[in-house]
Chain A
């Protein structure tokens, strides 16, 4: 069973910011929180990883509160090509993927 809980799907429009929140109710002290993106017919691709507070890279930001019971992936100004499934995961080398969040970006 996946350790995390995230919404099944989410719709947005081009140019908007998309925020996906994931619950990590039983996260272990040493576990990092990681987000992956998967396009149809492709393998998942690493987006961002964090342990606490805020992490930002060229494609996304990750917000993790002090209690680490949740994480929020923020995609700024999405485009049609951001339509994909987004997975939040916790753990070390062994990753358990849940159902992910299907994000549909509309024109």
Chain B
């Protein structure tokens, strides 16, 4: 398996622009997580899905952020409009508690977002 795939790996945009981050989880995993990592705040859970349904979005910073999972193999995290304080590394992770360790999440390589 190729692991969790994220695209793009790097994104540079200007304030006010829409940004869409993409994630393909490991096939067969029924949980998908979006995290954000910054030096100041560390690694924060933004939202997670189970069987394509959002379970907990309490970590989503504000209405400018939205996430969707239209099918089991694809998820997006959208920021509209983007702001400089959104600059961070965004990680997607997936897991299958039914077969592996209950807390074993497999992380993607991340998307480094820079908002100018």
Count of chain A residues with a beta carbon within 8 Å of a chain B beta carbon? 21
Tell me if A46 and B105 are in contact (CB < 8 A): yes
A49 to B103 alpha-carbon distance, docked (Å)? 7
A46 to B102 alpha-carbon distance, docked (Å)? 11
Tell me if A98 and B42 are in contact (CB < 8 A): yes
What bracket does the count of chain B residues touching chain A fall in? 20 to 34
> Which residues of B have CB within 8 Å of A43?
4, 91, 93, 107-110
A100 to B43 alpha-carbon distance, docked (Å)? 10
Interface residues of A in 1-57 (CB under 8 A from B): 32, 34, 41-46, 49
Bits for A66-107, please: 1 = Cβ < 8 Å to B, else 0: 000000000000000000000101011111111110000000
Q: Beyond A43-B110, A95-B103: 11 further Cβ-contacts under 8 Å?
A: A42-B110, A44-B43, A44-B91, A45-B107, A46-B101, A49-B102, A89-B103, A93-B31, A93-B50, A95-B45, A97-B42
